[in-house]
Structure 1
């Protein structure tokens, strides 16, 4: 498919996991793609890599400007960069709260703010934010992460309302627990990584973790002209976790 031919896309946090899968799929569908990441060295051509720290406004503006120059504009922005943290509301110090919110929420603000002048010049402008099932379901040991993703969901709706009359669509995806390097690191830190993985698999009605490529497909749909009437929407890619209530499996 080449339905994104002629469009230019920027993906933050595109060096691995969901971001890299999204960047590759956007490119496969015909888009010119720039990846912004703390370490974009793993990005292969035809993707273009730019070092950027989403907690630093100067860094973000420089990377977005360079990407827009090289791509010939920006039609699609995927705000994917994010970090996680484990713990209840009493476990994480203020510094951890500030760090997670700075990356997961303000990082999207900074990148979108820098990209808006370019998006306004596009006839098919779209922003897709990577949110989480944590925004809509209470997950244990994820207080600060859940708070940040709840903010992302609300931010997505506010951005959609602010920019719909400028022709800029804004949506988000809500992945369930995904099989990504970040989740792998969380599992490695658990007392019993195998038992923790089994518990995460069992938590999702489909009985397995979400795959990065599956989330990428949802992001690319929302970014594409095929979703031209879709804005202010959260698309769950969670194996049924948000909406299904199954009986216990028969033994």
Structure 2
């Protein structure tokens, strides 16, 4: 029977200092794997390292990398440094993202490019850099973070919806490119999750009324699905997007 089998996993995770990214790293550590925390915020990164590894920040520093995913050269340099520090990665999680609520009549160029630079371009830069190592190793699993916004639409979410829809199809295309190397690529599409990006009660309450489970999700529930996709439990899955939304998108009205 297949198992998670993540005890020897070496897994860079972007957006790892809070929310879903931090939950993924905590669960990987509990499974005996080695999460590598990538984030652009030094203060939050240091706090996350101490939490995940249960040691002083100084002792955990070698597992943390300060990087802005919007900078392709910085991402390439970060993955090269990871290889030098730890060897070839075995898995990767492209989690970093940002939200945007802006009606099309009011949305600025800066807002559009801001969300695309992280959710689409940053996603590509990290996946490309990680894929080079996974393809060389001829094994592994890459997980991207999509959203139900990439599958369905909502008012004032033009930029965010477009960016996440791109992630869904990018995931399929990556799966086709990397399948011949034995590398799997899948996405997770969360619904409304109680994270720093979605704490507004006025946003959560309507979700609680519409979702089949009558509640929002939590970061650990998304992290568990990510670990499933990283693991041998999903060994014949690739190019898929798993919706984890408590039944929010099960309704048509």
- In structure 1, C-alpha distance between the alignment counterparts of 2:145 and 2:4, rounded to whole Å: 23
Tell me the residue number matched to 1:203: 210
Tell me the residue number matched to 1:169: 184
Tell me the residue number matched to 1:76: 91
- In structure 1, C-alpha distance between the alignment counterparts of 2:87 and 2:177, rounded to whole Å: 25
Aligned pairs (5 A) from 1:1-251: 3-39=5-41, 40-45=45-50, 46=53, 48-184=63-199, 187=200, 194-245=201-252
- SS at 1:183's partner residue? coil
Is this contact kept in 2: 1:124–1:225, CA < 8 A?
A: no
- In structure 2, C-alpha distance between the alignment counterparts of 1:226 and 1:124, rounded to whole Å: 15
- Structure 2 residues without counterparts, runs of 5 or longer: 54-59
RMSD across aligned positions (CA): 1.7
Question: How far apart are residue 68 of structure 1 and its match?
Answer: 2.5
Q: TM-score by structure 1 length?
A: 0.89
State how many pairs are aligned: 238
- In structure 2, C-alpha distance between the alignment counterparts of 1:149 and 1:71, rounded to whole Å: 31
Q: TM-score by structure 2 length?
A: 0.89
Question: How far apart are residue 16 of structure 1 and its match?
Answer: 0.2
- Structure 1 residues without counterparts, runs of 5 or longer: 188-193, 247-251
- In structure 2, C-alpha distance between the alignment counterparts of 1:197 and 1:113, rounded to whole Å: 34
Is this contact kept in 1: 2:131–2:178, CA < 8 A?
A: no
Q: Indicate the structure with greater helix content.
A: 2
Question: How far apart are residue 199 of structure 1 and its match?
Answer: 1.7
